[in-house]
Amino acid sequence: MEKPVWTDSVQEIARHPLEHLDYFMEWGTEAWQHLMSHALENFLGTNLKGQHVLEIGSRYGRMACLFALLGGKVIGLDLNKASLSVAQREAKKWNVTERTAFVQGGKDLSILKDNSFDVVFSKSVLVLVPGLGHFLEEVNAKLKPGGKIVFLENAKGPWFVHLLRTFRHREWDYTKARYFTSEEIRVVSAIFDGVTVRKHSFPPVVLMLGHKRS
């Protein structure tokens, strides 16, 4: 069930959005929030004023709105057209429509200018992208020199965790579930500069931070 963030006023939350990271991250355990807090506090910073942020797979727009509340100018891309209107409503709620644009797309990134983003963020999307290496080369091209990547993904984890997940979520068709593998982490590390990988072991979640390849 959605947490009752509206007990505070919207304006109050907008002033301190990082205190409501659970709302903006929308779903996931504390592991996801913990890794995202690390990315914000130790890598991105919490003041994105003037920075151009691209979110790939922005879906309902909450993270894009968080980046806008931190001062960024955000483009949220999603393949799913229906999600865009929800994201636009979210932007209205936070009064960040002038700093956000939600656009259908993402199969390839040719609609975006090269060297134009300070930050590319993605959460639980890369695992769905076919031809990951090629796609990430495009992401690299869109970053400005020195630009940053922040990727968060469900990781596979050891066999017993996989078994436990299969049991806990037995109502899902688990043959279709996908997790980010060590091989995919190596692909990210090979494409961007100085990639650091931080993992949470249970549930297995992986955070990848890095820079445009120089």
Contact residues for ligand SAM, defined by CB under 6 A: 26, 56-57, 59, 77-80, 83, 106-107, 123-125, 128-129
- Beta-carbon neighbour count of residue 127 at 10 Å? 19
Q: Which residue is associated with the tokens 């006023």?
A: 9
114, 118, 121, 127: CA torsion to nearest 10: 40
Rounded least distance, CB 8 to ligand SAM, Å: 22
Nearer to ligand SAM, 104 or 196 (CB): 104
Residue nearest to ligand SAM (CB): 106
Which residues have C-beta within 8 Å of that of residue 186, sequence separation ≥ 6? none
Rounded least distance, CB 143 to ligand SAM, Å: 16
Rounded least distance, CB 214 to ligand SAM, Å: 25
Instruction: Give the helix ranges, DSSP H, for 42-112.
Output: 62-69, 81-93
The length of the chain in residues reads 214
Rounded least distance, CB 102 to ligand SAM, Å: 11
Nearer to ligand SAM, 56 or 120 (CB): 56
Rounded least distance, CB 192 to ligand SAM, Å: 17
First to last CA, the chain: 44
Nearer to ligand SAM, 29 or 146 (CB): 29
Nearer to ligand SAM, 49 or 82 (CB): 82
Rounded least distance, CB 57 to ligand SAM, Å: 3
Whole-number Cα distances in Å, 129 to 3, 95, 144, 190: 30, 31, 22, 17
Nearer to ligand SAM, 12 or 104 (CB): 104
Nearer to ligand SAM, 71 or 105 (CB): 105
> What is residue 180's DSSP assignment?
B
| CA–CA dist 53, 149 (Å, integer) | 10
CB 95 within 8 A of CB 122: no
